[in-house]
Structure 1
């Protein structure tokens, strides 16, 4: 077999860089934070449009000044939240202001004053039957300012003179804004004209279309931290079982991802740690506490006899976390590390808040989950977990892979990747046998 030429290697590398950028930042502008890579997106636009459509069912629009990858979503409860620069997630109120501002900008003049935008936004709210707080409360002003800052970040607004942050000042400030209507129109990806309400919009946006199980599973692989077998339908598991090696190779070539295939599911690992909005290990009190917490949970709850059913093992996707255990461990961590690691004072004074935020962080990482909760996208697995193939050939028996109603939370299999491992040297000093990741399988 002939080795690829230097031209082919360079071409593949450029396309991969462009694809990774769009997957991580679905809206890229020619003069924005990723202006240096935008020319690659333009150069390989035709190839990228075709590949994103074929592989993930995503539509890609590439214009002279911006590129927009229209992702499809994964259904209720599976979205990626928008956060402020401080890491604080948008509140429902902030999302409402964001949607109202977009409704104004799609038909706004090229330039307008901040005060005019706010006035039109409030008129749009009245037309939609929404009641906005006119008392001038600081919390309302901050929510509005956060929504407008996000539009500046996306490039839908440019602060020509002044700043949108002045809307949160004690005495409302003024600013001159330049509007990019094309970008404003491209921000909303879901089928608004066909949806009756927000819930319907989320379901329609997640529809894999003609791609069916193939498209849905591929989206799961690239958009989530781990794909567990018991969250897939029979058809999806069958497709994944027969294609997992080829899909792993395809994603390695397209996005530079490495597949970790286990009995309980698959995780796509990014060696560069770029294609994620969460980092573990990470910085800050919550990320540090979450890593320490998951290590101790695995040490306490690691099951025996886990493995692939084909080799005599028992498929275990999750184990129940006993009530009170998380609180007990968080109290231990606060006592051991709180003061010494200079953790946030608010968490030192309120351990229950740290417990809730650490669990929420681990849930977003798909290392823990609420007991009895699986997919809710309309395609899914029955809540009682009694799953079998229609023709009697079960791809993998998932009926008891995860506990149903025991306890409030479940520790999931991928958590073992973040647990402390101990290697014991043999007497002859040869290295111990481990898997390719240097770990003992869950």
Structure 2
């Protein structure tokens, strides 16, 4: 590999690392940060020109600040360690914690009890009512844990979890260089909270940039979610767009009549893996096949969703429930035991996953499958049975997946 090719490969790796983890710190991502610092001079203008993102690179961290996505883009909420989504209350605590850390009398380190006292004082000023219940403490702990995950905070002595459970003191160290870069603009420059993501009406973004941003952040982009200008760019400049996405971010572009897909062949860039392991992903993959087989959709079918006419076919909830129930019974030995006892939460998980990856839309009547769902053709391969000898090997042997699912990728002709 030539020096130029090696540098281009490293820049692409650094860009992918930033897209996947917009906050890289020396303590948690030393190799990725070193790569970003090495190519910072090229990465900053590249992100700015291609996506409208700003990149801050310092010795101890790199922060990629992304721009706003359209309202129709899938929601990517903050999550607790358990995987559950942040509630509005948890986001409130996150804002209060950040404000408390920015208080003038808080230095490089702070006792958790001192931080909590500052949060309570700020909440009174802001007119926010907070209580000292176990649920409230858990929300506060979840907010602080997110900042620990981002590298903004570090546990120097004691743990946040121990404080939440037993009120044990903890000493936190603050990355004061990174903390102000959590938001896209200094808060004192804003008149309203909505202005944090407001676009400048005097400088409308070019459709090439907004199209690239949609494809990079939400790989499956429906045709109806493109403006006329973005659609024109996709039609006229497909070859150039394909080259830019591949060279800059390692993404492969496919264009169909119903939209466009920029996928990562390595499967490392996405934050929502599909297909994949686990009962929810396996069920979603098999449900697609079952519903398409039952509905036999024809090209050009459309459904009205939220007042908009979109390509796709409606699977009523009774049909979805019947197919999921059949799948759960067929794979009862491999999937969770609670699925058959209480199927509604499992159906909600499966539907939410398909909506998150853009393959379906949830409506009151049922699940609307996008034509891109037909791209997946699952095949089932049963894993060998777990013998007594394997059971004696321990948990790893007992948890062999059965069955295993793969995808036969059937792509049609490009639109």
Which TM-score bucket, shorter chain as reference?
Answer: 0.7 to 0.9
When residues 281 and 358 of structure 1 are mapped into structure 2, their CA distance, relative to the original with a 3 A threshold, is: same
| Mapped contact 2:72–2:225 kept (Cα < 8 A) | no
Give the aligned partner of residue 431 of structure 1: none
Instruction: Write out aligned runs for 1:292-303 (5 A).
Output: 292-303=286-297
How far apart, in 1, do the equivalents of 2:279 and 2:345 lie? 11
Q: Does residue 417 of structure 1 match 2:364?
A: no
| Mapped contact 1:306–1:316 kept (Cα < 8 A) | no
| Secondary structure at the counterpart of residue 416 of structure 1 | helix
**Structure 1 portions without partners, runs of 5+:** 308-314, 372-405, 423-435
Give the aligned partner of residue 160 of structure 2: 164
When residues 129 and 164 of structure 1 are mapped into structure 2, their CA distance, relative to the original with a 3 A threshold, is: same
How far apart, in 1, do the equivalents of 2:155 and 2:199 lie? 32
How far apart, in 2, do the equivalents of 1:156 and 1:203 lie? 22
| Mapped contact 1:94–1:144 kept (Cα < 8 A) | yes
When residues 168 and 421 of structure 1 are mapped into structure 2, their CA distance, relative to the original with a 3 A threshold, is: closer
How far apart, in 2, do the equivalents of 1:30 and 1:140 lie? 32
Give the aligned partner of residue 365 of structure 1: 357
Q: Does residue 352 of structure 1 match 2:344?
A: yes
Give the aligned partner of residue 29 of structure 1: 25
Instruction: Write out aligned runs for 1:126-137 (5 A).
Output: 126-134=124-132, 136-137=133-134
How far apart, in 2, do the equivalents of 1:208 and 1:145 lie? 42
After TM superposition, give the deviation of residue 287 of structure 1 in Å: 1.9
When residues 156 and 192 of structure 1 are mapped into structure 2, their CA distance, relative to the original with a 3 A threshold, is: same
Q: 1:250 aligns with which of 244, 254, 270?
A: 244
- 1:53-75 C-alpha deviation (Å, 9 max, x unpaired): 00000011111111100001213
Over the aligned positions, Cα root-mean-square deviation in angstroms equals 2.7
Q: 1:146 aligns with which of 142, 150, 173?
A: 142
After TM superposition, give the deviation of residue 441 of structure 1 in Å: 5.7
How far apart, in 1, do the equivalents of 2:190 and 2:355 lie? 29
Q: Does residue 290 of structure 1 match 2:290?
A: no
How far apart, in 1, do the equivalents of 2:80 and 2:202 lie? 30
After TM superposition, give the deviation of residue 279 of structure 1 in Å: 1.1
| Mapped contact 2:351–2:362 kept (Cα < 8 A) | no
| Secondary structure at the counterpart of residue 342 of structure 1 | coil
**Structure 2 portions without partners, runs of 5+:** 302-308, 381-407
After TM superposition, give the deviation of residue 148 of structure 1 in Å: 0.8
- 1:130-157 C-alpha deviation (Å, 9 max, x unpaired): 11122x22x2222211111111111111
How far apart, in 1, do the equivalents of 2:36 and 2:62 lie? 8
How far apart, in 1, do the equivalents of 2:295 and 2:68 lie? 33
Total equivalences in the alignment:
377
How far apart, in 2, do the equivalents of 1:195 and 1:240 lie? 35
How far apart, in 2, do the equivalents of 1:52 and 1:228 lie? 24
When residues 52 and 154 of structure 1 are mapped into structure 2, their CA distance, relative to the original with a 3 A threshold, is: same
When residues 285 and 168 of structure 1 are mapped into structure 2, their CA distance, relative to the original with a 3 A threshold, is: farther
- 1:243-295 C-alpha deviation (Å, 9 max, x unpaired): 12210111101111111211111101101111111111223332222222122
| Secondary structure at the counterpart of residue 237 of structure 2 | helix
How far apart, in 2, do the equivalents of 1:262 and 1:206 lie? 32
When residues 202 and 281 of structure 1 are mapped into structure 2, their CA distance, relative to the original with a 3 A threshold, is: farther
TM-score scaled to structure 2, two decimals? 0.84
